[in-house]
Amino acid sequence: MFDAKVTKLLNEQINKEFYSAYLYLAFANHFTDAGLIGYANWYTVQAQEERDHAMLFIKYMQNNDLPVTLEALAKPEADMSSHLSVIKEGLAHEQFVTASINAIYEAAQGVKDFRTMQFLDWFIKEQAEEETNATEQIRKYELFGADAQGLFLLDKDLGMRTYAPPSLVL
């Protein structure tokens, strides 16, 4: 028997993950409009990852006979006044998602829902990686992004990112 609060939080997380994908597509559009196709690629891949995260939550809930509720997605809201502000928004958003997953874990721990805790272990590790990547993007942009040649090389590097589906086994 699953706790109602944990189930509600899991459903909310599905929608947060889909919103994350939507937000990162907005970031990709920002960079495409600026001619920074490598950055656009990086955020497009990021959007795909977030979509797959949502699908993992859905599959977990389906596998445990929990009702899945999909809500409408809000329009992505972010400061896109500069390339750096977009990248910083990415870090802030990842920190928001980390806090959300931690809250689910805490709720599951409180009711000794070990199955959900084990499921969330992968996401906790993933969020650490996401925050590290976002922080690295900020540092690199602050170091090299103001220089046209440096920005060109950063963009080229980010354009090489490819999508790798998550390896989480449900």
- Segments in the chain below pLDDT 50: none
The CATH-assigned architecture of domain 23-68+79-158 is Up-down Bundle (1.20)
Which pLDDT does position 12 carry in this prediction?
98
DSSP 1: -
Nearest-angstrom CA–CA distance, 113 and 102: 14
Q: CB of 127 within 8 A of CB of 95?
A: no
Are 116 and 104 in contact, with CB atoms under 8 Å apart?
yes
pLDDT digits (tens, 9 = 90+) for 55-75: 999 999 999 999 999 999 999
CA 168 – CA 170 distance, rounded (Å):
6
> Quick check: 23 and 78 in contact, CB under 8 A?
yes
Spatial distance between the Cα atoms of 87 and 22, rounded to a whole number of angstroms: 15
3-state DSSP call for residue 151? Answer: helix
Rounded to 5°, the CA angle 63-167-71 comes to 50
Q: What are the residue boundaries of the structural domains of the chain, listed by start?
A: 23-68+79-158
pTM of the model: 0.94
